[in-house]
Structure 1
Amino acid sequence: MQDVAAKEPTCTEIGWKAYKRCEHYCGKTEGYEEIPATGHNLSITVPRVEPTCERWGNEEYLKCSNEGCDYHTDYNGLPALGHDLQWHDPYDATCTEDGYWRGYSTCNREGCDYNTKVDRYVEKALGHNLKHHEAKQADCLPGWEEYDECQREGCDYNTKVEIPANGKHSYVCDVCTTCGGLNPVRYTREGKYIYFGHWPQTLERDENVVAKLNEMAGTPPLPRDNNANPYNWESHEGTTYMWQKIVIYNGTKYLGVQMNDYRANGIYALGDKITDNGYYKLNVYRLQTRLNFRVLQAIWFLLYH
């Protein structure tokens, strides 16, 4: 008799315990005991894998967990999607970003970084084209420390830090030469003189000057526009029949006046008296303001006795 070693069963094949058999293979055995096949243990779940642009995916399936067995349920592959390409035109470099000299494609699909760019067509960022600005002290308008500003079109880079306005105006003829605001106090001091106010005196007749003043002041309100006032003219005594605005041009102060209607005196309009002097409704007249009124400063003397 010949010894036969034991064999463990597999998922699909039987096994047996150790036994003896005839060495001449006559079929006679001693102690033979068969062990049935175990069958597959499908306890491993392989999850679904989504396909990408370049790689296949698969549906969920099961695998046998028995050692040495590679059996699994049906494998259903999911084909690769291919790239969802978008074309890009060439673009110029900016101060901070590289440019690219030719068109290229990129994939729009989330998670895919595919593109057809190559390094030899990259134009390096230009860097800022800086202009230096000197500091400006704050007054009625904000000031700033010295700063740099990029002059390249489309770039808003600058290192400007504003200093808040402090309310200090520079009045000439009661109008601030910096912001154009009117002096609420309406007087100025020069040496021993105190100047109060001004009086319209001369009608400006130079057509070039009048054209410039009209450009600076803008259009006054008109009745047909429901007195719309985008250029901030002042109404005379709170009415809408007359509008006025002060403009300083070449160092001269001008008062612009427009009448939308003639002022009434009782039941009679003053139109005749106004037109007799050459002034008509809806025309803007520019008057130079040159006369100054002044009050002498008081001087005190120490008296001895």
Structure 2
Amino acid sequence: MLTVIIIILILLILSAFFSGAETSLTGASRPFMHQLETNGDRNAKAVNKLLERKGRLIGAILISNNLVNILASALATSMLIGMFGETGIAYATIIMTALIVLFAEILPKTYALQNSDECALKIASIVRPLVIILSPITFATQWLVKITLRFFGVKLNQGDDFISRTDELRGAIELHQGEEANKNIVAHEKAMLKSVLDLSEVEVGEIMVHRKTVTMLNADDPAHEIVDQVLASQYTRLPLWRGQPENVIGIIHAKEVLREIYKNNGSLDIDIGSLASNAWFVPETTRLL
């Protein structure tokens, strides 16, 4: 009897471990784990390997967890039937349900949820061999699940993963908050982060600076005047035109001008036109990405 009780306790501990493992690994921060792996953390690498095939991970943990729970309940039922007869079935059901729900489910999952990254790093190296060993069984169960879902008209679409991740990022940006004094800064940061996600929808015309507000250089002006304009400008790349502002013949880079002056021992008698690089002419409707 004592041996059976010890085995049941061991099985409950294993059940608690599997419950906590499921919660911590599925709740671990992927960006944080990626950063740790980049820095050479082997445990983080193990976590990422497990999360690459999350379906197999969850399948292996659920199989293991249900197996130990069923075995523990069966042993408890057998033991209590021997002690109380048929009434032992009711006792076993009540006792094992309370133990499993409280100590093997709620307690470990609550702790793992509060410390998901830390727990995931500690248990990944233990869970991974188990997942590999049970991979044939999990593969078979996943296949059966897919067949069953297809029978009911449910299709697993992997193509929506990118969309869901993008929506997840948008949600994280919306949750970004700051102190009352920094509300304007936070709002600006939110706008910037959202704009990054929308780059593929932004057209060049939306970000272009109007020609009237652009500092432009006249190629027919004397070299020393052009140099003065380059030095006075806050920009390093300036359009160069000839004849009329609409006739842009190239782009002048401030460094190229200074480099040419240095070659001429400080003389401003330089050919500005030869320093111009080709200008790109892009339709306003062109997408940024």
TM range (shorter): under 0.3
User: Going by fraction, where is helix more abundant, 1 or 2?
Assistant: 2
Relative to the length of structure 1, the TM-score reads 0.17
User: Going by fraction, where is strand more abundant, 1 or 2?
Assistant: 1
Relative to the length of structure 2, the TM-score reads 0.18
